[in-house]
Chain A
Amino acid sequence: MNAARVMAIFEKDLKEFTKNTTILFTPFITIILAIIYSRMETGDGLPLIVVYAIVGITYASVTSGVMMILMAEENEKKTLRGLIMSPASYVEILLGKSLVTALMTFITLIISFIIMESTNMIDIQQIIGLLVLFFFFLFLGIAVGLFVKSVGMTTVYLMPIMFIFGFTSMIEFLGFSPDSIVIKITDYMPIPQLVAMGETESWSAIGIVLIWTIVAGLLAFVCFQKVKKDRA
């Protein structure tokens, strides 16, 4: 691992980012939604469930999405081969791209929180939750990014991630009864856990999200090993 090479990839991807309309568009969707939601505010602040809707969209589209697209582009345009043949390792390439993804994610989130005046996120427990949740989505993005061969294909993977993990809290609004199996399952998913944490203030929510993150990390690791083996 060499920090100079990670930074070289980071710098390159950041420059490409600003010239890539597909990617540049993703933070804007979130920010526009944040503006719309902020208009619906009635005086005592937006409820956590709405704030987490924005978090879910940001993490799915910016975190998982950008990570996938950055990798898919390198694969599709055959630039990945040039990187691999250079002294840069897979880990360095992934780290450089993760840094770009992290930067874009947190800029988007902070802008959205400011627009929505989400003071309920200024809370150490929520911030830790958000960080752990970031890695969950990042690992999903890396896992897909390692094998997806074209930018077009990323949507196929991004949509389920968006609906299952990004919009989990919204499922409640689909009219399921509170003791239906769907709600019981979704309650244990990362975003509903963090929404509930706002009331219970129980740290177990972060524990559950951490388990999800470890599982996503393992999935990314399996994909990583497979890609490395395929190359040999």
Chain B
Amino acid sequence: MSNCIEITALQKTFGTKTAIADISLQIKEGEIFGLLGPSGAGKTTMIKMLTGELNKTAGDIRVLGSTPDKFHQTSFKSQIGLLSDNSVLYERLTVYDNLKLFAKLYNAPLNRIDEMLEMIDMLDAKKKVVSKLSKGMKQRILLAKALIHRPKLIFLDEPTSALDPGNVAQIHRVLQKLNEAGSTIFINTHNMEEATTLCDRVAFLHEGEIKECDTPENLRYQYSSHMFYVETFDGEIIQLPNESESADKIASLIKTGTVKAIQTDNPTLGDIFIKITGKELV
């Protein structure tokens, strides 16, 4: 499979402040890629550089085969969907009028509007004025707006932050469906659960550098201690390495009836992040 996004030795500085120190990264077509990092890590800056809103300081970027000097072209923009961290709708207009504007700007057929509303389960709200909608509803409309032209590559900057679980699940369902239909998804998030369940691959961004980049499963395995924790009825915890010698010991403990539980440690992405950065993810 070819690469959708190729980043080589990318740097971004704001005056004397380095936001992105040195990043190289490839994202494959059809992937759901999660960029994780605490506030100020440079996640938004990354998306802005990949969508042409900010210029890079150094390094190379290729998105869908295009270099940043092509990012303003309609042919490029019509392949990209963007839900940024502070996207907004026209509050005075109806849901329909908002989507109609963007359908026309992207030259998408107008019947796409109903299709998108159905996908986000908001067909009932079509004629509602945006200012009357809840935050979660607005976010779903913003998602519909970002997807109205069926982009090949979708950028989402913390799409589910501060939403209730119902709205989050709904948005995840939509993203999964789109991904199955072939879209590549680049998502910035704080939410470790989101990253674990949704993403094929995640990268940990910290102080402008990528500290780890792999599938959530591989990372969790890599950062586990590879130990068995055997808890006895006496309350004792016996640690045994994941090696063949441990098998006999565990078997004999079970035979004597002393084992209450056997556990492995399976760190969450959140645990791993704290290990890497020494910081909580908030």
Q: Footprint of B on A, CB under 8 Å?
A: 2, 4-5, 7-9, 11-12, 15-16, 19-20, 77-79, 81-83, 85-88, 232
Determine the chain A residues whose CB is within 8 A of the CB of B77 once the complex forms. 85-87
Determine the chain B residues whose CB is within 8 A of the CB of A78 once the complex forms. 86, 88
What are 12 A-B pairs at a CB distance below 8 A? A8-B105, A11-B104, A12-B93, A12-B97, A16-B90, A16-B93, A81-B87, A82-B88, A85-B53, A87-B78, A87-B105, A87-B107
Bound-complex Cα distance A20 to B4 (A) = 43
Considering the complex, give the chain A residue whose CB is closest to the CB of B53: A85
5 new A-B contacts, CB < 8 A, other than A77-B91, A79-B89, A85-B77, are A8-B105, A15-B97, A19-B93, A78-B88, A87-B78
Q: List the count of A-B residue pairs having beta carbons below 8 Å apart.
A: 58
Determine the chain A residues whose CB is within 8 A of the CB of B88 once the complex forms. 77-79, 82
Name the interface size band of chain B: 20 to 34
Question: What is the interface of chain B mostly: helix, strand, loop, or mixed?
Answer: loop
B91 x A86 contact (CB < 8 A): no
Determine the chain B residues whose CB is within 8 A of the CB of A16 once the complex forms. 90, 92-93
Bound-complex Cα distance A8 to B53 (A) = 23
Q: Which of B96-112 contact A (CB under 8 A)?
A: 97, 100-102, 104-107
Q: Which of B59-99 contact A (CB under 8 A)?
A: 74, 77-78, 82, 84, 86-93, 97
**Residue from A8, A15, A81, A82 within 8 A of B104 (CB atoms):** A8
Bound-complex Cα distance A81 to B145 (A) = 14
Is B55 engaged at the interface, CB distance under 8 Å to the other chain? Answer: yes
Determine the chain B residues whose CB is within 8 A of the CB of A20 once the complex forms. 92
Q: Nearest 8 pairs between A and B by C-beta?
A: A8-B104, A87-B74, A19-B92, A86-B105, A12-B101, A87-B77, A88-B105, A78-B88
Determine the chain B residues whose CB is within 8 A of the CB of A86 once the complex forms. 77, 102, 105-106
Determine the chain A residues whose CB is within 8 A of the CB of B105 once the complex forms. 5, 8-9, 83, 86-88
Q: Which of B206-252 contact A (CB under 8 A)?
A: none
Considering the complex, give the chain B residue whose CB is closest to the CB of A89: B72
Determine the chain A residues whose CB is within 8 A of the CB of B101 once the complex forms. 8-9, 11-12
